Chain A
Amino acid sequence: MHEVVVTGLGTVSPHGDDADAMFSALMRGESAVRQVFPELPKPAPAATVAFDESRWFTKLQLAGVDRVSQFAVAAADLALADAGGKADVDPERFAVFAGCGMGGAAALEAAYRAGIGGSGRVPPLTIPAFMPNAPAAHVALRNGALGPVLTYSVACASSAAAIAEAAKAVQRGEVDLALAGGSEALIVPGVVLAWQAMQTLAGFQPGEAATSCRPFARDRSGFALGEGAAFLVLESAERARRRGARAYAGLAGWSLGCDGTHLTKPDAPGQQRVLRGALRQAGLQPADVGYCNAHGTATRIGDGVECDALATVWGAALDGLHVSSTKALHGHLLGAAGALEALITVLALHRRQLPPNAHCDPVDPGCPLNLVRQPGTAAPQLQAAISSSFAFGGTNAALLFTRV
């Protein structure tokens, strides 16, 4: 069994495509959320990416490549470059594990508009553009990965599940190098309307979209959608050492499970199982973990259930666990959320800094967590940090990182 380490980080996020600068913006509490699609009947908050696809694609290469795949290619490329390249990897032992909730939403929406409401002519590359495994496939094509190239589509846990599965493959020696993460790009009017219909998006007064997502706050009312991608490079500690690569952190524990109770209602026991599972695999006690990047979607029910789960598992050690949901600042990236939040958790550990749980004043008295209330919080003793993702469908994932 190999020890798994993170040697590269790459993201295309609402706070830009420099992972370190993105983390610094979070540390300052800067929100990337704003109002989108003013033409819709009801205003919607979202965090979008200012993306220059020409950095990664010629116009010709963009034929049939949806924004969701463009993000994935860019973030994976940045991660691999950050890791110092793929070195001498055997292409057949080089894998891509990618999460994606919805695939190419823009391509699908354009096809509906043209085919049903418009000219009747549907772009011929709609299928390869929107298929949910397109992002992983493009990453593999671009980087010559000939090992397993797999897509995990488990809603909000998609990319956390992808990272867990990648870690398992590296741990068992099935692959030598894995690009693990996810991408999502579904901020198009039709999808926004669907999320609004589900009553999950934050409400806000005019001009206040930036602070609309308020995890664990008494007045929380839901999340803001986000888009983007994040990838981690995972490899064994031996391989990283051999090639002189810097390791940001170890991925010491992970756990996947399902509530098995309800399609959309979260379940504290289900969450407890994966939190405990990750601790057990890492051989750590709750008191060893100093930071939790919470799922924290700021829905009325979700945050309360997550608090219960954390309180039950951490018990007397709950006060020592600093908690923040960075979704307040970067929005909910859905299928890419687990990957971006894992990346943030790794940087929190690496830099020993804790991004704030923004827009949370006053705190919900029903959420007695040690929330990171202030921007710029340092954590000089931090040794281990956990990131959790709890999905529609009941699938839960926890990733536990440690200092190396």
Chain B
Amino acid sequence: MGGNGSRTMSSLTELQDLIQQKYGLDPAALDPNASMRGSGIDSLALVEFLFEVEDRYAISVPDEYSNVDTLADLAAVIDKVRASQTA
């Protein structure tokens, strides 16, 4: 979308929407800077969620990122991977 060169792209809102769609969790109820486990997104759910994110954006998230803890961290990882893999 129209970032026009500046690095403002963030997947955070899209991820929040996807979480709401998939799991019915309201974005307001999910603090981007808190551990996702506290909201019930345990390690298994996170693995499943990442798989769907990869499908959605046609990217591949390297294994080293599979243990991110907060949604903000996850969004940052997705931003980075999208920037490098869709370039």
Q: Which residues of A contact B (CB under 8 A)?
A: 58-61, 63-64, 121, 123-125, 128
Nearest residue, chain A, Cβ from B24: A59
* A59 touching B22, Cβ below 8 Å: yes
Scoring A60, A123, A125 by chain B CB atoms within 10 A of each residue's CB, the highest score goes to A60
What's the nearest-Cβ distance from chain B to residue A56, in Å? 15
Contact across chains for B44 and A58 when beta carbons are under 8 A apart: no
Contact partner of B23 among A59, A64, A123, A124, CB < 8 A?
A59
Q: Name the residue of chain A whose CB is nearest to the CB of B19.
A: A60
Expressed in whole angstroms, the Cα–Cα distance for A121 and B41 within the complex equals 22
Q: 8 Å CB contacts to A: which residues of B18-70? A: 22-25, 40-41, 44-45, 47-51, 54-55
Distance in angstroms between the alpha carbons of A128 and B47 in the assembled complex: 12
Is A125 in contact with B55, judged by CB distance below 8 angstroms?
Answer: no
Q: How far is the CA of A63 from the CA of B45 in the complex (A)?
A: 5
B interface residues, Cβ below 8 angstroms from A: 22-25, 40-41, 44-45, 47-51, 54-55
Q: Are A60 and B55 in contact (CB under 8 A)?
A: no
Sample of 10 more A-B contacts, CB < 8 Å, known A60-B40, A124-B48:
A58-B24, A60-B45, A63-B44, A63-B48, A121-B54, A121-B55, A123-B48, A124-B50, A124-B51, A125-B47
| In the complex, residue of chain B having the shortest beta-carbon distance to the beta carbon of A65 | B44
Give chain A's interface secondary structure class: loop
**Chain A residues, Cβ within 8 Å of B50:** 124
A64–B40 alpha-carbon span in the complex (Å)? 14
Quick one: given A121-B51, A123-B51, A124-B51, are A60 and B44 in contact (CB under 8 Å)? no
Partner of B40, one of A58, A121, A123: A58
Bound-complex Cα distance A343 to B23 (A)? 35
CA distance A61 to B40 in the complex (A): 8
Chain B hits for A123, CB < 8 A = 48, 51
A64 engages B24 (CB within 8 Å): no
Q: Please give the distance in Å from A129's CB to the nearest CB on chain B.
A: 10
Check if A60 sits within 8 Å of B51, measured CB to CB: no
- Name B20's closest neighbour in chain A (CB-CB): A59
The answer to whether B24 and A60 touch across the interface, beta carbons within 8 angstroms, is: yes
What are some 17 contacts across the A-B interface (CB < 8 A)?
A58-B24, A58-B40, A59-B22, A60-B23, A60-B25, A60-B45, A63-B45, A63-B48, A63-B49, A64-B44, A64-B45, A121-B54, A121-B55, A123-B51, A124-B48, A124-B50, A125-B44
Q: How far is the CB of B27 from chain A (nearest CB, A)?
A: 14
Chain B residues whose CB sits within 8 angstroms of the CB of A61 once the complex forms: 40
What is the CA–CA distance of A123 and B25 in the complex, to the nearest angstrom? 22
Among the listed B25, B40, B41, B47, which residue makes an inter-chain contact with A124, where contact means beta carbons less than 8 Å apart? B47
What is the CA–CA distance of A124 and B43 in the complex, to the nearest angstrom? 12
Q: Which 7 A-B pairs have the closest CB atoms?
A: A63-B45, A60-B23, A63-B48, A59-B23, A124-B47, A59-B24, A60-B40
